[in-house]
Amino acid sequence: MASRRLSAPAPGKLSSVSADDAAGWVSCPGCRTLLYRKRLARDLGVCAECGHHTRLSPWERIAQLVDVGTFVERTADALPPTADRHRDPLGFHDQQPYRERLAAAGRESGEPEAVVFGTAEVGGFPLVVAVLDFRFLGGSMGTAVGECVTAAAERARRTRTPLLLVTSSGGARMQEGCLSLMQMAKTAQAMARLREDGVLSVCLLADPTFGGVSASFATLGHVVLAEAGALVGFAGPRVISETVGQELPAGFQTAGFLADHGMVDAVVPRAEVRPLVRRLLRIHAPGARTRSGPGGGGAPPIRRAAALTTADPWETVRRARDADRPSTADYLATAFDEFCELRGDRCFGDDPAVIGGPARIGDRPVMLIGHQKGHTTSERVDRNFGMAHPEGYRKARRLMEYAASLRLPVVCLVDTPGAYPGIEAEERGQATAIAECIARASTLPVPIVSVITGEGGSGGALALATADRVLMLENGFYSVISPEGCAAILWRSADAAPEAARALRITAPELLDLGIVDAVVPEPAGGAQLAPDVAAANLRRAVLDQLDELAGIPARELLSLRYRRFRSFGERRASEVRSA
């Protein structure tokens, strides 16, 4: 089969709606409303009445996602010759010979197999794309599908081009026995090589994605998205019911269920998939330019404690806790140029007290991770006042791994009273989550810059402040324990918090003198909350300055310097610590 080029949008032939008459009306599978076929095509196959996302053919999906005229099909390059492609490796026969099933699936779908892959562009950025076809034996993965997915990943790796995979599958193809099972390992190792070689991969889980596909390449992308309304899981509802006899709860295995349990980065309506993919490609593209940051250049960071004004530590604590003080989300909108939030820890849930994802600052792609408090009472309650649960620190660690894979510097914005101390946090391993986050940061082979923008509370702060450069805003503080906690334990009264704050030496000048922080980001008079744009410009300059200083250091030397930085605390006099 010769390679095909998609030169214009595919016709509005929707693969999962039933035709009611020849005049072009179709019935929505979700609500049974009659819909005009041309309008449904204009709506990308999404019912205007109930929002049901109809299933698309690979060509419809590709036409919606990529720039017109850029897709060149490469499927034939990966498939064996026609005579061999329809060979039945097991001589499998159930109610119908496997060869006859293959032939019928080819006639019904118009495709030689359950996958189409090729090269294309989105927003002018090149990528390799592979799309599974549910019309062909339920999008099941046999040797041909496994070969095409692997070939797509290998092409992406060889050309250092991002990979986009769109899945819709019932799982492994039973008619090919253990040969189909081996495709899980084959495709998973191809995805692992992409991670190791620093090539971006994005997986879009469409309806349905189950079994051997969901348990291999479909969930191994740097970014994993679920299309709105998709059903996704390992064991299908019928398998669960017949194997263990459990009754399934409402909403089980839906895209929303996955998001609630931290398994995907986002649930995306179909109309938003292309813009999101384009944004990811733009953020990660080397040399790509985005909008400029705040004007004025910002004031340089202060590196000598003597140049700072000494304020009462308790007043500094109060300013750091001001509800109007800029948050991580505020700095993302003002000090950074672009950001794409990713969610979930991939094993339990998403913690809104920690936000993160790839971003750009200047001409640099970075991984941004930060605590998020919010401003209003309702926002602060929703964000748990910036006190992260274990899943927040597991998310941070996952994003650090992402950064290491794609060679992105990490920027952390720290503002937390401390890690959440509740019962459920202990049940889910709070201490281990923090320890693993610190340990991974200590061995991350990319530059790390952390900025304490407000409160730096104990180990909950250190989890995001194990860095090559630690900066602090002028009215921030960083402490082993809150002043109130220290006062309650040592003074036997929380009323002694101001006295404890003075004794702990937690302010910017004191910590700069101790060598705990490397530089202080100046704030406008009265605090960052009074002139947030000025504070953002100063933070932006400080971060860019530190990234410039760290950019030329080889990874091995960077790790050695980072180790020596923390190894030196308590070993030498304070004046010597800062030079380590």
Q: Looking at this protein, which amino acid is placed at residue 196?
A: E
Cis ω before 29 (30° cut-off from 0): no
Angstrom CA distances, 238 to 26, 178, 207, 228, 471, stand at: 29, 22, 16, 22, 54
Residues in the chain: 580
User: What is the C-alpha to C-alpha distance for residues 37 and 438, in angstroms, rounded to an integer?
Assistant: 55
Residue written as token pair 């003198």:
513
Residue written as token pair 């599908």:
145
The token duo for 527 is: 């605090």
31 is in an annotated binding site: yes
Residue pair 249/165 in contact (Cβ under 8 Å)? The answer is no
Dihedrals φ, ψ of 558, to 5°?
A: -60, -45
User: What is the C-alpha to C-alpha distance for residues 127 and 129, in angstroms, rounded to an integer?
Assistant: 6
- Name the E strands within 308-409: 338-339, 354-361, 364-371
User: What is the C-alpha to C-alpha distance for residues 113 and 74, in angstroms, rounded to an integer?
Assistant: 13
Q: Following DSSP, what letter does each residue of 97-113 receive, concatenated?
A: BHHHHHHHHHHHHSSSS
Residue pair 113/134 in contact (Cβ under 8 Å)? The answer is no
Residue pair 527/319 in contact (Cβ under 8 Å)? The answer is yes
User: What is the C-alpha to C-alpha distance for residues 289 and 358, in angstroms, rounded to an integer?
Assistant: 15
Going by the annotation, the residues of the binding site are: 28, 31, 47, 50
Going by the annotation, the residues of the binding site for Zn(2+) are: 28, 31, 47, 50
